[in-house]
Amino acid sequence: MTIEEAREQLKSLQEKMAAYEHAMGLLYYDGATTAPRGTAENRGRSQSILSGESYRLATGPELKETVSFLSEHPEELTAAEKRQIAILEKDWKRMEKIPIDEYMAYSELLVRSESVWWEAKEKSDFAMFCPYLKQVFETCLRFAGYTDPDKKPYEALLDEYEEGLSTELCDRFFAGVRERIVPLIRRIGEAEQIDDSCLDGNYPDWQQERFAKFLMETIGLDLDHVGLGTTEHPFTTSLGSHLDERITTHFHPDRMESSMFSVIHEGGHALYDTGSAPELAFTVLDGGVSMAVHESQSRFYENILGRSPEFLSFIFPKLAGFFPGQLSGVTEEQFCRAVNRVQPSLIRTEADEVTYCLHVLIRYELEQAVLNGEVRVEDLPGEWNALYRKYLGVEVPDDRRGVLQDSHWSGGLIGYFPSYALGSAYGAQFLRKMEESVPVFEDLKAGTFARINDWNREHIWKYGSLKKPTELTESVFGGPFEPEWYFSYLEEKFKKIYRI
């Protein structure tokens, strides 16, 4: 094999992997958006078979030979190729430790588990979902044992979604949350409360859909390459490459702001993915590098930009144009305060910016407790409700609004939640850097995202997965991650909103 042949081979293997990812991603997307209800088992079979084929590719002799050969000639490789090889090698070594039949069975299990979760949530019936969730937790535990026998399982899972993330860092971060955010919530609770009843109304799907498309264009998404679907629990996915991106939302008939901020949140994910440098398409470097950096973008657009009084002053008149009947008696100030209302509540995705981290903290504690054997899966509903009482002071009326609310666990994403909180905090630190060269809030007043997006593209998006997460964030921060920026951002913003 010559270097040139090996490079060609490296390229073509990654293209093949991208095609399998495309197929599997589309099966997932279809299942979550438009597939008829009774088709999950059928889809699970295909998902399992394709995951087996993709596993064989990612751990096959062709790939190993190519990667091994190229890694002996680092001087001939570009930085991108070196990183590709490192990722492929890490993945194959990890995957190889998992027996292929277990890998395929897990992939099939997830399709069923997602489908059962969907129904269980609708019926608020945890017992129905419990056996599947047990299997998911058990499989994650077993897989972590295969791949990282020396680590605590939760550490292995955290690292999977966020290279380099540890419980030590999470613990430190959440200690800060307890110290700075809990008192802030208390002070807000003592202040004059915001009435958000001005958001109540009757918002037909078709009106919400038109507004969603407008929002997507406003924040700078290219609708020729980014589609919008509807689903139970909004998510974003790339199909094949960053040239085909799908975001999803959920239209609540009585509250339009839920979909509005979902669209901006998922839009942030999509901006990040589609901002990858064109040459990264069809390689393992395409799209966002990690879950926390991904969430740093989605939550940055949703909250720091999307819920800023400046952007709201731009969007409110437009919004009133899309929903003329419903918002006729509402003022901009009422609207701005209503969508920034802080209120300990039941649903994470609907939570305000301030209490949000506590929802994550609860999941972080529960995931560890289950994996460490301190809590049984069947006892999760009770434990969940107890922690909501403890941290948020709210009573969970049913599992639909409790332990069944998120799709993550049913999809095998154990250890994913902390990245939401960390991402939020990264975003605040990115903002401080961005403001050094971009008049962020002035642009938002004008509804102009070009300079904001350019900055993100230059500093974050274009790299795809070329840099490791910490390497990327620290190079942008110009130093280590400092949660302080996040805590002070929240304090500053909400003291103003609550006039305290």
213 touches 229 (CB < 8 A): no
479 sits near a copy of itself (criterion: CB under 8 A): no
Task: Map the footprint of a copy of itself across residues 30-69, applying CB under 8 A.
Answer: 30, 33-39, 41-43, 45-46, 49-50, 53
Judged by DSSP in three states, 255 sits in strand
Q: How far is the CB of 89 from a copy of itself (least distance, A)?
A: 23
Between 244 and 454, whose beta carbon lies closer to a copy of itself?
Answer: 244
370: Cβ–Cβ under 8 A, 6 or more apart, which residues? 137, 376, 377, 380
Q: Which of 61, 150, 168, 206 binds a copy of itself (CB under 8 A)?
A: 206
- Distance, in Å, from the CA atom of 419 to the CA atom of 295, rounded to the nearest integer, reads 7
Q: How many residues bind a copy of itself (CB under 8 A)?
A: 41
The question of whether 266 is a catalytic residue gets the answer yes
214 sits near a copy of itself (criterion: CB under 8 A): no
Between 20 and 477, whose beta carbon lies closer to a copy of itself?
Answer: 20
Rounded-to-5 percentages of helix, strand, coil across the chain: 70, 5, 30
Could you give the string, one character per residue 235-264, with x where binding to a copy of itself holds by CB under 8 A and - elsewhere?
----xxx-xx--------------------
190: Cβ–Cβ under 8 A, 6 or more apart, which residues? none
Residue type, 322: F
Span near a copy of itself by CB under 8 A; candidates 20-28, 163-171, 329-337, 403-411: 20-28
Q: How far is CA 177 from the centre of its chain?
A: 20
Q: Which of 6, 9, 10, 27 binds a copy of itself (CB under 8 A)?
A: 27
Alpha helices in 379-468 (DSSP H): 380-387, 418-434, 440-445, 450-459
193 sits near a copy of itself (criterion: CB under 8 A): no
Residues pairing with 325 in the sheet: none
What letter does residue 14 receive in the DSSP assignment?
H
Between 223 and 386, whose beta carbon lies closer to a copy of itself?
Answer: 223
494 touches 339 (CB < 8 A): no
- Distance, in Å, from the CA atom of 216 to the CA atom of 225, rounded to the nearest integer, reads 12
- Distance, in Å, from the CA atom of 129 to the CA atom of 115, rounded to the nearest integer, reads 10
- Distance, in Å, from the CA atom of 133 to the CA atom of 367, rounded to the nearest integer, reads 12
Q: How far is the CB of 228 from a copy of itself (least distance, A)?
A: 9
127 sits near a copy of itself (criterion: CB under 8 A): no
* Catalytic residue of the set 245, 266, 353, 367: 266
Could you give the string, one character per residue 218-237, with x where binding to a copy of itself holds by CB under 8 A and - elsewhere?
----xxxxxx-x--------
> Which residues form the catalytic set?
266
* Contact footprint for a copy of itself (CB under 8 A): 15-16, 18-20, 22-23, 26-27, 29-30, 33-39, 41-43, 45-46, 49-50, 53, 205-206, 222-227, 229, 239-241, 243-244, 282
